[in-house]
Every structure is written in C-alpha cells, then in structure tokens.
Amino acid sequence: MTAVVALSGGIGGAKLALGLDRELAPGALTVVANPGDDFEHLGLTICPDVDTLVYTLAELANPELGWGRRGETWTFMEVLERLGGETWFRLGDGDLAMHVERTRRLAAGEGLAAITAGLASRLGIASRILPATEQRLRTIVETTDGALAFQHYFVRLRCAPVVTGFRFEGAERARAAPGVVEAIDGADAIVVCPSNPFISIDPILAVDDVRAALERRRAPLVVVSPVIGGDAVKGPTAKMFRELGLESSVGEVARHYAGLVDGLVIDEADAALAAELAVPTLVTRTLMRDLDDRRRLARETLDFARSLSGR
C-alpha cells in the first residue's frame, strides 16, 4: 500500500502505529493524533498523545509507563516538589525539553503540525505524525462529580469519577491541521488504532472537516478493537463503556463506529462474537507484547483492508 492513514491516541494506538511504520515503505504512513488530551501546564503546551507517538516511533518510549521517555531522570520533578510546585503531572527531565521547545516555537508563531514534523524528523521518524487540529480542542469529561478537564480526570483523579459523557471544547471552531484532509483523501487504507473510542478517537472525529473527509473517503476504514474479551489492555475503556450503560464488547465498538467502519479486527478471545457483528471481521491475536506482534498485527490489518478495497 502506498499511502495509509492511522488515527491514534497514546499508548495502545502507538503500538500499532509502530507496527504500521515498520511494515510500510518509509513515508507511506500518516498518523493523525488525538488533540483532546493536550493542555497547558507549568506554562508549557503538553501534547501527550503526539509525544507518545513520537517517542514510540523513534523507539525512545518508556516501556514501563507507555508515556514519556525510556531511561528518564526526574530531577526537575524532585526540585519542583521541594519548592512546593505542582507535581501531580510528571514531566521527566528529557521529556521537558520537548515541551519547552514546542512551547517556544508556538510562541514564535509556528504551527503545531510543522513543529511536530520538525521534532519527529530530528528523531529520525519517517512517518508523518500530525495533530488532528492546530486549534484548541480539549476533552472535558462529564462525571457524577461534575465536568473535569481531561488530565485532571485521567492523571490527577486516576479515572476514579463515574463518567456520564464527554465534550470536546473548541471542536466547533477547530479545522483539520495542514496535511490531514489531503492524507485522508489520498489514502489507500484508513486504520483506526486500538485506542479508546470515547477519549482518543472521538476528539479526532469531532473536527468537522476531518469527519467529512473520512465520510467521503474511497479507501476502506478498518477499526482494530481496543476491547479484548470484554476488557481493555490498559486504561479506562471498559470502565467507560460500563459507566455509560453500554456493554464493554466488540459489538459496542462496532456500533460506536457505525456508518464509518468497513471492517473490524478483533481478538481470538472474541471469536464467538464475530458472527453477530454487522461488519466484515478479521479474527486474530490483537494483544501486542513486542515488536513482532506489532508488525504482524499491522501486516494482517493492512491485508484485511486490501481485501475490503472496492467493496
């Protein structure tokens, strides 16, 4: 395949994005990243999912945490704590350089897409990583404790509050970042990575011209389920489905993307449910423990998309 677009959040999605990056020719992959987790913190603009993708594709990611850099040191955080600063969101010493440099370039008037491309290229990444939008789009989590800014809910409160819904503040004014619509229009396949549908993929779909480009696409759109055997590998996906009164299942994942999805990739643990799904389904092993798993799942997903072309 000559051009593939992947939609991705952070940790889980980035694993498949790495597999796609390694399976495709250099430059064939464009990853459109969730902008909803972004926020301003300690005077810096933090783009967690963009950064997780950058570190993962550059093979610099912290294998234990999934976010941040491997071999990280934490002197900045230790000193900040000593000084009585805010330490609930942990910025490693090396990672800090990313946020400082991005914030400096934003203040100098550069766009987030160009900045991300520049930083990714310095780290040797051949694929394109694009934020879905350069405008401010922030996920607000509606909970029984009130509306919470995303990182406040996710990191500070460790996803404990009961979720009742989501809002994407600023989405109505957000436009697709330069390159996003062109990439979707020119794609041979679109892959929705195994990311949380509510907080990782929906913020991307909330950008009107991104959604419109996906709706008019000619290429097949394949979703890799983030739900395996009714649970998520990591993170609050299954908890969110349940709190919203939905079943945490591959059937609900398919329903979530109804009208967009042409094919669903599900795990062998869910094989028995395949017959009930209203979309063509590929059953395989979707748990990605190492690079071989990531590459194999990427290869199988691309083959599956190819088999759906022209339907």
Residues between 50 and 69 with contacts to ligand FO1, criterion CB under 6 A: 51-52, 67-68
Instruction: Give yes or no for residue 151 binding ligand FO1 (CB under 6 A).
Output: yes
Phi, psi of 295, rounded to the nearest 5 degrees: -70, -40
Among 91, 227, 233, 305, binds ligand FO1 (CB under 6 A): 91
Q: Toward ligand FO1, which CB reaches closer, 37 or 202?
A: 37
Q: Toward ligand FO1, which CB reaches closer, 3 or 11?
A: 11
Q: Toward ligand FO1, which CB reaches closer, 10 or 251?
A: 10
Please count the residues of the chain.
311
Instruction: Give yes or no for residue 168 binding ligand FO1 (CB under 6 A).
Output: no
Report, in Å, the least distance between residue 105 CB and ligand FO1: 17
Instruction: Give yes or no for residue 48 binding ligand FO1 (CB under 6 A).
Output: yes
Alpha carbons 156 and 146: distance in angstroms, whole number: 15
Q: Toward ligand FO1, which CB reaches closer, 118 or 186?
A: 118
Instruction: Give yes or no for residue 10 binding ligand FO1 (CB under 6 A).
Output: yes
Instruction: Give yes or no for residue 12 binding ligand FO1 (CB under 6 A).
Output: no
**Which listed range, 49-57, 250-258, 262-270, 275-283, lies at the site for ligand FO1 (CB under 6 A)?**
49-57
Instruction: Give yes or no for residue 154 binding ligand FO1 (CB under 6 A).
Output: yes
Alpha carbons 266 and 298: distance in angstroms, whole number: 13
**Which listed range, 101-109, 151-159, 276-284, 301-309, lies at the site for ligand FO1 (CB under 6 A)?**
151-159
Return the residue matching tokens 């989590």.
141
**Which listed range, 23-31, 47-55, 115-123, 165-173, lies at the site for ligand FO1 (CB under 6 A)?**
47-55
Residues in touch with ligand FO1 (CB under 6 A)? 9-11, 37, 46, 48-49, 51-52, 67-68, 89-91, 95, 151, 154-155
